[in-house]
Amino acid sequence: MSQSLFGKVWDAHAVKTLSNGQTQLLIGTHLIHEVTSPQAFGMLRDLNLKVAYPHRTFATVDHIVPTDQRQEPFADPLADAMIRELRRNCEETGVTFFDLPSGKQGIVHVVGPEQGITQPGTTIACGDSHTSTHGAFGAIAFGIGTTQIRDLLATQTMALAKLKVRRINVNGELHPGVYAKDVILHIIQKLGVKGGTGFAYEYGGSVFDNFSMEERMTVCNMSIEGGARVGYVNPDEKTFEYLKGRPYSPSGDEWDAAVKRWRSFASDPDCEYDDVVEFDGANIAPTVTWGINPEQAISVVESVPTVEGSAEKEKALVAEALEYMKLPAGAPIKGTKVDICFIGSCTNGRLSDFEEVAKYLEGQKVAEGIKAIAVPGSQVVDLICREKGLHTVFENAGFEWRGAGCSMCLAMNPDKLIGDQLSASSSNRNFKGRQGSPTGRTVLMSPVMVAAAAIKGEIADAREVFGVGELANV
């Protein structure tokens, strides 16, 4: 019977049906970080259980790491206690830790792929909702809670109910200046923040075929913002090319066997999906959020909605968002004054994000009074950017170039908004208070759009600011 990748990977990892009707699923690759794992290790100790497969859990530290003053002990004693606790847990249990001095530390969803740990046809879980990122490789990757982290540490399995699969095709061609970030913001805007509940999203079509692995990661990363716990792209030559030669990738004779196996997990061409949705890539514009969830998004040339003009069931949320964001209803979003510009995060903190922005930053200057920060997603990304001289391009333009971590995406470290500052951000959530101030405001957009906002001091159309289209046509 023909099957989707989701079905094949699920079957290959199903241990048995549990008495509550759920499936006991083997999770081959377990990733952990300092925020959601310490309590799980504590539960394990309380139950006198051991880590069953320590070689299949990998740790890094990302959320609480300062991006400027990185010497230990950290100034924040709570952050310092968290990194020490993770270090202790890894040492005691034999789990590999990409610690600060390793040169490999970074955001867990950047580290996994770049180390070659993320592989097609595997199951991956991490106590972090953006684990869906790893689906870009044709893996089934779940965000989980801390009790499930305990279950994984103790048994390498967890209890799960099977998801339905929705195929999302994006065909046609993207216009110049339209990026992977715009594609996922557009999908969420159309299908809604809870449209994906109960589904795994399988992304395909010519736009995804043409995307690089890092672009695929950007889209899969934000699946959860559309309610889908899992998002993936079928593995292809690009996937294999990306993985070849990575530290944890198979090598030698094992490589060919692995590629053959990986290829076999791709969805069969005639497989049936629970739902299919089509988008035309040509209809997607540079997209920005205006509200307090990622569905509240518009094209950069559009105006902020009005309560009166919104659908009846949306009215209350639109009113709440307008009040919080302090944006005039009905006014163009372009020209909105910004305070902080942030390029980084597990959504857009990879090498190609900085390369793309650097193309346009040469000779430009960040507008007066704007604080702009660029935060590589990992120490490896940082190193490559430095080798290529990209960090100097950012610094010459007036950006601060920081050390690797989650930074301002969620403000569990010193990078935070103050008061009602408005942030142009390449991250993934624009929830109230997300960036560290209870009244702070977040506008999500692609990294190049963040750079345009930094140069103009206001939300701007990067195509106009940088002539993105013209450059792309060269």
Partner 1 sequence: MALEKITQVRGKGVYVAGNEIDTDRIIPARFMKCVTFNGLGEYLFYDVRKNEDGSDKEHPLNDSRFSDATILLSGENFGCGSSREHAPQALYRYGFRGIVAESYAEIFFGNCTTLGIPCFCATKEDIRTMAAAIEADPSLEITLDVENERIRFGDQNLTAVVRESARMALSGGKWDMIGELAEGESEIAKVVAGLPYMAP
- Span 321-380, contacts to partner 1 by CB under 8 A: none
Residue 258: CB minimum distance to partner 1, A: 7
**CA–CA distances in Å: residue 268 to residues 80, 200, 238, 275:** 48, 16, 18, 16
- The interface mask with partner 1, positions 245-264, x = CB under 8 A, is -----x---x--xx--x---
Measured CA angle at 461 (ends 310, 339), to 5 deg? 85
With CB under 8 A as the contact rule, the residue among 7, 113, 138, 143 that binds partner 1 is 143
| 186 Cβ neighbours under 8 A, 6+ residues apart | 279, 283, 284, 285, 287, 297
The single-letter code of the amino acid at 118 is T
Site for partner 1 (CB under 8 A): how many residues?
Answer: 81
With CB under 8 A as the contact rule, the residue among 4, 60, 96, 122 that binds partner 1 is 122
The alpha carbon of residue 441 and the mean position of all alpha carbons in its chain are separated, in whole angstroms, by: 20
**Which residues are paired to 230 by β-bridges?**
200
Residue 447: CB minimum distance to partner 1, A: 22
- The interface mask with partner 1, positions 181-210, x = CB under 8 A, is ------------xx--xx------------
CA dist., res. 263 & res. 138, Å (int): 9
Using rule CB under 8 A, residue 438 touches partner 1: yes
With CB under 8 A as the contact rule, the residue among 148, 267, 336, 426 that binds partner 1 is 148
Element (H, E) at 12: helix 5-13
Ranges within 53-112 binding partner 1 (CB under 8 A): 53, 55-56, 63-64, 76, 78-79, 81-82, 85
CA dist., res. 362 & res. 374, Å (int): 15
Considering only 94-102, 363-371, 378-386, 425-433, which stretch makes contact with partner 1 by CB under 8 A? Answer: 425-433
Ranges within 4-43 binding partner 1 (CB under 8 A): 12-16, 18-22, 24, 26, 28-29, 35-36, 38-39, 42
Residue 197: CB minimum distance to partner 1, A: 5
With CB under 8 A as the contact rule, the residue among 166, 371, 402, 432 that binds partner 1 is 432
For residue 425, which phi and psi values (nearest 5 degrees)? Answer: -135, 135
Residue 55: CB minimum distance to partner 1, A: 5
SS (H, E, C) 344-406: CHHHHCCHHHHHHHHHHHCCCCCCCCCEEEECCCEHHHHHHHHHCCHHHHHHHHCCEECCCCC
Residue 316: CB minimum distance to partner 1, A: 7
